[in-house]
C-alpha cells in the first residue's frame, strides 16, 4: 500500500504532502481524522518563525484555540528526521501531548529529532513531507510577525488553511 497524500489548501497557495503511514501510523491516522472531518478548515498558520518552521492546524482566525481529540502517542522514535520540508506533530513540553497542530520545517532542525526518552530529548514526530508547494511554505515562512495575546510570532497578514483533503495522484 502506498503512502496517502493530502492537499493542504491555503490562502497563500496549495501544498501537497505525502504522509508516512508506514513509519508513523498513529500520527497519520490522527491527522487524516482531522482532515476528513474538516477540522482544519478556517484555521491559520498562527506561528511562523523565520529559518525554523511554520505551525498551524489548531487556531482560528480569531486566535481561538480549537479543541482537538485526546493526545496521541509520540512516534518520534520512527527514525525520520526533522529536515527541510518535513511535516511533524506539534506538542507541548510533554512528549505525548500532540493533538491537532502540526508544523512544516523550513530548514533542517536536528535538535527536534529523537535523542532519548527524556522529556527534553524525545523529539517531534515527523509524519509527512511536502512533495509540491515548498515555494508556498517558504513564502509563509518569510511573513512579518507580531505578538498577539498569548501567542508570539503570529503573521501580521493571516494565512488561512481553507481545506485539507486526501489527494490521489
Cell digits of residue 138: 517558504
Instruction: Specify the CATH superfamily of domain 5-167.
Output: Cyclophilin-like (2.40.100.10)
Among candidates 149, 131, 163, which has minimal Cα distance to 18? 131
Dist. CA 123–CA 95, nearest whole Å? 7
User: What is this structure's pTM?
Assistant: 0.97
pLDDT digit of tens for each residue in the chain (169 aa)? 589 999 999 999 999 999 999 999 999 999 999 999 999 999 999 999 999 999 999 999 999 999 999 999 999 999 999 999 999 999 999 999 999 999 999 999 999 999 999 999 999 999 999 999 999 999 999 999 999 988 999 999 999 999 999 998 7
Dist. CA 93–CA 54, nearest whole Å? 18
Dist. CA 116–CA 69, nearest whole Å? 26
The domain ranges of the chain are 5-167
DSSP state of 93: S
Region class of 79: left (phi > 0), else alpha (psi between -120 and 50), else beta: left
Dist. CA 91–CA 96, nearest whole Å? 8
Dist. CA 134–CA 15, nearest whole Å? 7
Cell digits of residue 60: 482560528
Kind and range of the H or E element at 31?
A: helix 25-36
Amino acid at each position: 500500500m502506498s503512502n496517502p497524500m493530502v492537499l493542504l489548501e491555503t490562502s497563500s497557495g496549495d501544498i501537497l504532502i505525502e504522509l508516512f503511514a508506514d513509519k508513523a501510523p498513529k500520527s497519520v491516522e490522527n491527522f487524516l481524522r482531522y482532515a476528513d472531518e474538516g477540522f482544519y478548515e478556517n484555521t491559520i498558520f498562527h506561528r511562523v518563525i523565520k529559518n525554523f518552521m511554520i505551525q498551524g492546524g489548531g487556531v482560528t482566525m480569531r486566535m481561538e484555540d480549537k479543541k482537538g481529540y485526546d493526545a496521541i502517542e509520540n512516534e518520534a522514535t520512527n527514525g525520520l528526521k526533522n529536515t527541510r520540508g518535513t511535516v511533524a506533530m506539534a506538542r507541548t513540553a510533554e512528549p505525548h501531548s500532540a493533538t491537532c497542530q502540526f508544523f512544516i520545517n523550513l530548514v533542517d532542525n536536528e535538535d527536534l529529532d529523537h535523542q532519548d526518552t527524556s522529556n527534553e530529548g524525545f523529539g517531534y514526530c515527523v509524519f509527512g513531507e511536502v512533495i509540491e508547494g515548498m515555494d508556498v511554505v517558504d513564502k509563509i515562512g518569510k511573513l512579518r510577525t507580531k505578538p498577539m495575546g498569548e501567542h508570539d510570532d503570529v503573521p501580521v497578514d493571516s494565512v488561512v488553511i481553507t481545506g485539507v483533503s486526501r489527494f490521489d495522484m
